Every structure is written in structure tokens, then in C-alpha cells.
């Protein structure tokens, strides 16, 4: 089986897992994966993660011209901006409309530069600092501009009122990271107003150093 065929199957398998566990619903969310030949596989617009057809995924060439498949997600601006700014660090991008991440994005005291409190080490290891971006209408090209404005310094962002977007070295890493983001957001909401103990700066610095985390 070719790399492209394997990746088509993997995208559908992982998307179905996210859907079945309620991490995105209806026809929300999108995934892209960059193949070793520079081509890009993308989930189509209006498609449900629970019922993706590997043969109907959108395929782009290296010049970002569509080669085959259904009409791509309208959030291509998000995906292309991550590939442009993070280069070889990004082999896949996942965007969800997951509940707790969205809820945390609209809380008035959420820190827009680092929206996930340091409750566990895993959010730090897998995500680094998570940037909260402002609201954009779905499909607005300005979302891509906002990602480019970060100059490749963040692998994870949350769009206010919309949902998280995470770039990873491959699809599995991106999926694991976005799941960690959603669980971290859930913990933040569960402990909200309870004055929880969080990791101190020395503990955070130790994680950043040991696991080579981007922490800018």
C-alpha cells in the first residue's frame, strides 16, 4: 500500500475515533496531512468525522492546487499558514470544535497569551504555550494571517468562540496534542474559582528544558 493510501485510511480512522468520543460533532472539524512528496491530504468541507470516505479526501499538489477529491474544508487558511510558518516541524494539522476548549476561550479572565493553566505537566510537554486568538467568521482568510503573525512560535492555538487548532510532526502527534488541549481545558474549567495549586515557574522551566519545549 502506498504512503498516500495508508494516510487516507489513517485520517479516516483517527477522525472517526475523535467523533465517536465526542471531541467534535456533526460536520465540524478538519484534518490535513502533508505527504513526503509535498502533497497535502485534507478532509472535505461539510463532512462528518464519523463517516469520512478515504477516496473522497481532497488532494493538493505542492503548489496548493487541487488535484482530486471533494471540495476542501473552508478552513484551509488555517492549515496552510501552519505549514508555511512552522516548516518541517509540521506534518499534520487538526482543528476541532471541542466543547471545553471553546468554553475556556470565552471566559473573561482567560490569559490570551497562555490560556491553559499549568495544572499537569502534559499540557506543557505536548502543547507549549497555547495562544488564544480572537473571533473570526468561519472561513475568514484573516485566520491564516493571525497564524502567520505568530511567526511559527506556537504549535497550538484556540480560536475564540470556535475551537482549537494544533500542528504536529505527524497526524498521531497532532491528534494526541489536541486531545491533551481539550483535557487541559476541561481541568481548567473544573478547578475554576477553586484556587488550585499549579506548577510553579521552576517546575515549568524544568519541563521546558528536559523535553525541549518551545516556550516563547
126-137 pLDDT, tens per residue? 999 999 999 999
Coil/strand/helix, residue 121: helix
Q: How far apart are CA 70 and CA 58, in angstroms?
A: 5
- Joined grid coordinates for residue 2: 502506498
- From the list 4, 9, 83, 122, the catalytic residue is 122
Binned at pLDDT 50, 70 and 90, residue 215 comes out as confident
Query: Mean pLDDT, the chain, as a whole number?
Result: 96
State how far the Cα of 30 lies from the Cα of 151, in Å rounded to an integer. 22
CB atoms within 10 A of CB 66: 15
Closest residue by Cα to residue 211 from 151, 131, 121: 121
Whole-angstrom Cα distance, residue 125 to residue 209?
10
Q: Which of 4, 13, 19, 75 is catalytic?
A: 75
| pLDDT score, position 109 | 93
Cell matching residue 81: 499558514
Mark whether 9 is an active-site residue: no
Other Cβ atoms less than 10 A from the Cβ of 6: the count is: 12
User: Is-catalytic flag, 75?
Assistant: yes
Whether the per-residue pLDDT at 84 is higher than 90: the answer is yes
pLDDT digit string, tens, across residues 141-188: 999 999 999 999 999 999 999 999 999 999 999 999 999 999 999 999
- Indicate the pLDDT class of residue 1, thresholds 50, 70 and 90: confident
Q: What angle do CA 26, 99, 171 make, to 5 degrees?
A: 70
**Domains of the chain from N-terminus onward:** 3-210 (3.40.225.10)
CA distances from 22 to 105, 189, 196 (A): 19, 18, 27
Amino acid at each position: 500500500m502506498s504512503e498516500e493510501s495508508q494516510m487516507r485510511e489513517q485520517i479516516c480512522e483517527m477522525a472517526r475515533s475523535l467523533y465517536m468520543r465526542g471531541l467534535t460533532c456533526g460536520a465540524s472539524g478538519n484534518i490535513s496531512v502533508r505527504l513526503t512528496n509535498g502533497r497535502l491530504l485534507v478532509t472535505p468541507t461539510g463532512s462528518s468525522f464519523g463517516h469520512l470516505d478515504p477516496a473522497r479526501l481532497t488532494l493538493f499538489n505542492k503548489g496548493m492546487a487541487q488535484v482530486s477529491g471533494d471540495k476542501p474544508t473552508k478552513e484551509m487558511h488555517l492549515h496552510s499558514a501552519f505549514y508555511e510558518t512552522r516548516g518541517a516541524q509540521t506534518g499534520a494539522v487538526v482543528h476541532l470544535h471541542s466543547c471545553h476548549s471553546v468554553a475556556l476561550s470565552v471566559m473573561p479572565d482567560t490569559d490570551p497569551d497562555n490560556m491553559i493553566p499549568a495544572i499537569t505537566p502534559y499540557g506543557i510537554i505536548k502543547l507549549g504555550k497555547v495562544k488564544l486568538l480572537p473571533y473570526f467568521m468561519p472561513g475568514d482568510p484573516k485566520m491564516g494571517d493571525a497564524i502567520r503573525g505568530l511567526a511559527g512560535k506556537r504549535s497550538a492555538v484556540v480560536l475564540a468562540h470556535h475551537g482549537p487548532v494544533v500542528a504536529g510532526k505527524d497526524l498521531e502527534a497532532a491528534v494526541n496534542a489536541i486531545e491533551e488541549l481539550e483535557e487541559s481545558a476541561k481541568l481548567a474549567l473544573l478547578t475554576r474559582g477553586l484556587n488550585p495549586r499549579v506548577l510553579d515557574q521552576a517546575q515549568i522551566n524544568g519541563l521546558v528544558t528536559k523535553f525541549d519545549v518551545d516556550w516563547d
